[in-house]
Structure 1
Amino acid sequence: MDNLVGYVNAVFIVFFILVLVRMLLSWVPNPPYTGIGRTLWDFVHQSTEWYLRPFRKLIPPIGMIDVSGIVAIVVLMVANNVVVRVLDSVVN
């Protein structure tokens, strides 16, 4: 069952990386419109939009800086720690 904790942690890490990539791609002024770049752009956008949208609705940008992504990452990290610790205590 220790593998379960590892798998759940890995899922959180992969999603964390996707959110981080999404935040970095938000600085790219013109996303790619064709080819593999567009496919990857769409994948990252669709994979993270459901999670980031509520944060953007609650937290307005400060000037031209969107801090909602930072808050979303912090919440994701806290959720990761809580879920992994609870699973670890249940398994062990």
Structure 2
Amino acid sequence: MSTDIQTIRKLAHLARLEFNDEKEQEVLQDLNKILNWVDQLRELDTENVEPLTHMSEEVNVMREDVAQNTITHEQALLNAPKKDSDYFRVPKVLE
């Protein structure tokens, strides 16, 4: 499988890219190399190969997700640059 310069120009237009003539030829060669490599992969017999969901056999050890308060309201307000009694003060966003 290979492609031509018109396909490169169409792809560049869709991706909003601009290439000079030298760069177009370089991209064309690179794309043809990629497509040839994909063709080589298609020749492999993968009939008895199970699809991978992960690249390794390792399994993450997950902790149970339990909601808990780790900091009090007063402790959180101590880190606030601006506060107003029980609330954080933030700059006005909407008019």
Structure richer in helix, relative to its length: 1
> Which TM-score tier does this pair reach, normalised by the shorter chain?
0.3 to 0.5
| Structure number with bigger Rg | 2
